[in-house]
Amino acid sequence: MRGLRHIAVRAAFAMVAVVLMACHCGEPLPPEPTPPEPEDTRSESLKAFLKKTEQGLYIDSEDVVTYDEFYFQKAWSSDNHSFRIQRDDQSAYFSIRASANSSSSSYQVEYMNATHSVTLMLLRLQSVQSRNSCVWLWNETMKTGVIVPEGLL
C-alpha cells in the first residue's frame, strides 16, 4: 500500500509540474515598463539655435554674422582665446574673446553687419552642445548664441 501511495504521489507531482510548465510557456512575458521621456524644458530660442550649423553669432536664433567660405575669412588665437570671422570686403565681422579671467565663462563679443553698426557685448556663455569639432555657447537671458571651433576659447 505504501508503494502504491508513493507512485500515486509522484504521478500527481509530475502532472502538476506539466500543467504549470504548459501554462507558463504559453503566455508571453509582460513588457518591461518604460520610463517616461523627460520633459524638454529648454526655451524655443535655444532649441532653434541648436539646429544651426554655421560658425558665427545668432541672436534670438536669427543669423547675425555667420561664416560663408566664399565671402569670409577666419582667424583665431589659442593664446588669446579669441576667434574672428570677417567678410572679405570688411562689411561684416564677428569676434569673440574670452575674458581675462579664464576660469569664468565671460566673453567679449563684437560684431558689425549690414543692419548693425559696431556692437560690443559682454556675455556669460555656457556650452550647450558640442559636435563636428564645434561648440555651441548660449546666453539664455540675451537669447544669444555663438558657434565656434572647439578648443579655442
Buried b (16+ CB within 10 A) or exposed e, 19-42: eeeeeeeeeeeeeeeeeeeeeeee
pLDDT tens across 18-31, in order? 565 655 555 667 78
Contact 91, 114 (CB under 8 A): yes
pLDDT tens across 99-147, in order? 866 556 899 999 999 888 888 889 999 999 999 999 999 999 999 999 9
Q: Calculate the CA 149 to chain-centre distance.
A: 16
Predicted local distance difference test score (pLDDT) of residue 123:
92
CA dihedral sign of residues 140, 144, 147, 150: negative
Average pLDDT over residues 56-78: 94
Residue at grid coordinates 569639432: 133
Q: What is the pTM of this model?
A: 0.73
